[in-house]
Amino acid sequence: MQNTIKSKIAFVGNGLHSGNPVRMTVQPAPADHGIVFRRTDVSADRGFIPARWDHVVQSPLCTLLTNAQGVSISTVEHIMAALAGCGVHNALIELRGNEVPIMDGSAKPFVQAILTAGVAPLGAPLVAIEILKPIEVRAGAAVARLAPAPGLSIDFTIDFADPAIGRQSKVLNLANGAFLRELSDSRTFCRQSDVDDMRSRGLALGGTYLNAVVVDGAKVLSPGGLRHGDEAVRHKMLDALGDLMLAGAPVLGRYTGVRAGHAMTNRLLRAVFADPEAYRRVVCTPSMATLLPGAGISKADLLSAA
């Protein structure tokens, strides 16, 4: 069945790139509404932006959505991952400004608030996107691939020259609260040299050592160090789930990413939807639904994400 949240949730934080303060609310929505953003700082007829793959525009540092009127919202990947991981399929997300608050750089604050508010069934069937054949996109050494699988799993590999990150790989089946326990608290990461470059270009103005893992060679500069030894690859998996959520429905398939990022995952979704033989929309049976992110979540998972 489709789900929404039981009550409105409010978040206050800063935009990662603008540095501007942001207040964002996530509100319940009816069945078949999907996830939709609404900019409250523009006229009502221009402010709605569907959270969908065909509204993504190229942005090297985050996932950026835009509508037909040219109104955009950026850095949507963490809230989208949290909604997917909590099994929320319908919500209206309102904010004044063009960027989702970065919070602590992970999906954890969103997950905690969603599960505290509660997830409400809507009594309408849930449709998923079943991958029928392997589809792959490449760009140099980067690869993103979707292949048939009964549920959703992510297999990710990264490789950085910095010893603090290095080469990391992880495979995870995302059913039964795995996202909450394993990925939700992993923060975005970057190198100090990247921070300096972005700041020189007027970007990352809201970034701090407290909402990102910043490394310099073998050093982790953020206070407290890493939350996981492989926090970097876990965060890339978190991002991938958020970007896959832009399919407009849960995906049944195995996602493989090698040095992939937001743009690669969006290219992959475009390749899937361009090939009618690559996928089909299926009504989830109760047994199929147990294989999706958000299925089988419990208070124990909430405590693990705390």
Q: For residues 194 and 174, what is the distance between their CA atoms, to the nearest angstrom?
A: 31
Judgement on whether residues 239 and 135 belong to the same structural domain of the protein: yes
Judgement on whether residues 82 and 176 belong to the same structural domain of the protein: no
Q: What is the pLDDT of residue 304?
A: 58
Q: Tell me if residue 209 falls in helix, strand or coil.
A: coil
Annotated catalytic residues are 262
Range of the domain at 147: 127-298
Query: Tens digit of pLDDT for each residue in 103-126?
Result: 999 999 999 999 999 999 999 999
Among the ranges given (69-73, 79-83, 109-113, 294-298), the one the predictor scored with the smallest mean pLDDT: 294-298
Q: What is the pLDDT of residue 302?
A: 60
Packing angle, helices 262-273 and 231-244, rounded to 10:
30
How large is the average pLDDT for residues 166-175? 97
Q: For residues 176 and 85, what is the distance between their CA atoms, to the nearest angstrom?
A: 10
Q: What is the pTM of this model?
A: 0.95
| Residue type, position 163, single letter | P
Query: Tens digit of pLDDT for each residue in 243-253?
Result: 999 999 999 99
Domain count of the fold of the chain: 2
User: Which domain-ending residue is among 121, 147, 166?
Assistant: 121
Judgement on whether residues 35 and 176 belong to the same structural domain of the protein: no
| Contact in structure between 32 and 2 (CB atoms under 8 Å) | yes
How large is the average pLDDT for residues 136-156? 97
Query: Tens digit of pLDDT for each residue in 173-183?
Result: 999 899 999 99
Q: What is the pLDDT of residue 300?
A: 73
Please, which residues have CB within 8 angstroms of residue 38's CB and are 6 or more apart in sequence? 47, 48, 49, 92, 93, 94, 95
pLDDT, mean over the chain: 93
User: Which domain-ending residue is among 121, 147, 165?
Assistant: 121
Measure Cα distances from 293 to 44, 91, 132, 170, 296 in Å: 33, 17, 19, 17, 9
Q: What is the pLDDT of residue 297?
A: 87
pLDDT at residue 305 is higher than 70: no
How large is the average pLDDT for residues 128-154? 97
Measure Cα distances from 305 to 60, 114, 181, 185 in Å: 28, 12, 6, 6
Judgement on whether residues 115 and 39 belong to the same structural domain of the protein: yes
Judgement on whether residues 141 and 278 belong to the same structural domain of the protein: yes
The residue with greater pLDDT, 150 or 205, is 150
Judgement on whether residues 217 and 178 belong to the same structural domain of the protein: yes
- Beta pairing, strands 91-95 & 35-39: parallel
How is residue 226 written in tokens? 């890493």
pLDDT at residue 301 is higher than 90: no
Judgement on whether residues 178 and 55 belong to the same structural domain of the protein: no
Q: For residues 301 and 22, what is the distance between their CA atoms, to the nearest angstrom?
A: 28
Kindly report the CATH number assigned to the domain that includes residue 61.
3.30.230.20
User: Which domain-ending residue is among 121, 146, 162?
Assistant: 121
